[in-house]
Amino acid sequence: MYDPRQFTAKLGDEEIIVETGRLAFQAGGAVTVRHGDSMVLVTATAAKEPRPGVDFLPLTVDVEERRASAGKIPGGFFKREGRPSTEAILLCRLIDRPLRPLFPEGYRNDLQVVVTPLSADTEHHLDIISMIGASAALSISDIPFDGPIGAVRVGYADGQYLIHPSSAQIAASELDLILAGTEDSVSMIEVGANEVSEDILLEAMRRGHAAIQDVIAMQKRMAASVGKPKNAGVRVVLDPELLDRVDSLARQRLEELVAASLSREERRQAEDELLAKVIEELGDEVDKGDAKEAFEIVFKKAMRRRILNTGIRIDLAANPSLSKYKFVIDAIMTDALDENRAFALGLAFGAPIQ
């Protein structure tokens, strides 16, 4: 039904406008988010029932780049939109990370969040409004979602914190922090920085979390005003008795496995052999898929206990003290990389040495 509704929120000194009821009526939830002359359409849709055999949350996030949003028409050899760019893939991951933990435990319905840029003015980033739009679309949809989340970029230049800075401002900033979180906590950060102090970074996180509160409150108003009734769907819950049986059969052997100084290939082979033995001991009356899922839970807990109790990761069993490790950062400066991006690449590709 055509019934456009607009909602606004402050993000720093700027205002973002979220509208629903104008486009994509068949989606579970659909919004447009505008900041300046940058605008995205975000839709969220879920299958009614889970597919057989799916043992994870099948969430897909797509960013459908449109050059026309920036006033460009593809020409030359490539006359159509091609594969996703690196920036689009990274934005998909940026959206996925804070959303994925907020779906109910055992929810296995196929989920799709699609972001389509409608306009890009080059001054106002599309990533932050895309993250906010994904949360807003899920919040007003029939999809169970323990949100909403807010997102913001924080910069730091000339001793001042910049909340939701423009492209020109972030280019001169010593810090490029993207933060996403719920009303109560920070759930994700992504940072590029020119070696700022920890105090500056922590204060940027504090200010960023405070800045997203109005965005979160706006989404709650949207859900109360135009939100659809939630479809709980089918929740896949593992039988506690099966989990206890697998724990009793495999726990000791898994603890020995994670404590052994094995290579990755050797560890995987030993894990597969142990899983096969556990399934055999459980008998034919137990579903193999459920048994494997229970085994993975017990294995994960064994690895976690080892890290918490000894400080030794499973892949560093021969090196008891992680504090002996240093990271060599080789950030090669070129004309194509500014200092922030070169520093971030150095962190990403730093080589651990003893």
91 shares its domain with 167: yes
291 shares its domain with 216: no
Among left, alpha and beta (phi > 0; psi -120 to 50; other), residue 92 is: alpha
Note whether residue 235 is domain-resident.
no
Indicate whether this model's pTM tops 0.85.
no
207 shares its domain with 336: no
What are the C-alpha distances in Å from 119 to residues 18, 19, 152? 14, 15, 19
Q: What is the pLDDT of residue 344?
A: 40
Residue 205, judged by CB atoms within 10 A of its CB (0-12, 13-18, 19+), counts as: middle
Alpha helices in the chain (DSSP H): 86-99, 126-140, 167-171, 198-211, 213-226, 240-259, 264-282, 288-310, 339-348
Structure tokens at 132: 């906010």
**Which residue in 318, 223, 249, 296 sits closest to 18, CA to CA?**
223
116 shares its domain with 144: yes
Q: What is the pLDDT of residue 285?
A: 84
Please count the CA atoms within 13 angstroms of the CA of 350 that sit on its side-chain side.
Answer: 13
137 shares its domain with 267: no
Note whether residue 62 is domain-resident.
yes
276 shares its domain with 171: no
Q: What does the alpha-carbon distance between residue 128 and residue 310 come to, in Å, rounded to a whole number?
A: 39
Reduce the secondary structure of 37-69 to three states and give it as a string. CEEEEEEEEECCCCCCCCCCCCEEEEECCCHHH
What are the C-alpha distances in Å from 344 to residues 203, 208, 339? 20, 20, 9
111-119 and 59-63 beta bridge pairing = parallel
Structural domains in the chain (count): 3
217 shares its domain with 327: no
15 shares its domain with 158: yes
75 shares its domain with 20: yes
Q: How many other C-beta atoms can be found within 10 angstroms of the C-beta atom of residue 142? A: 19
The DSSP string of 71-124 is: T----TT--S--SPPHHHHHHHHHHHHHHGGGSPTTB-S-EEEEEEEEE--SSS
61 shares its domain with 207: yes
Note whether residue 149 is domain-resident.
yes
Q: What is the pLDDT of residue 239?
A: 86
Cis peptide before 148 (omega within 30 of 0): yes
Q: What is the pLDDT of residue 224?
A: 94
What does each of the 354 residues of the chain score in pLDDT, given as a tens digit?
678 899 999 998 889 999 999 998 899 999 999 998 899 999 999 998 888 878 888 999 999 877 666 666 666 666 666 778 888 899 999 999 999 999 998 898 999 999 999 988 888 889 999 999 999 999 999 999 998 999 999 999 998 999 999 888 988 899 999 999 999 999 999 999 888 899 999 999 999 999 999 999 999 999 999 999 998 877 878 888 999 999 999 999 998 888 887 888 888 899 999 999 999 988 888 888 888 989 999 999 998 888 888 877 776 644 444 444 444 334 333 444 444 443 343 333 333 333
Query: 317 — phi, psi (to 5°)?
Result: -65, -30
94 shares its domain with 111: yes
Q: What does the alpha-carbon distance between residue 316 and residue 168 come to, in Å, rounded to a whole number?
A: 43
Q: 198: domain CATH number?
A: 3.30.230.70
Please count the CA atoms within 13 angstroms of the CA of 335 that sit on its side-chain side.
Answer: 0
Structural domain containing residue 184: 5-226
331 shares its domain with 292: no
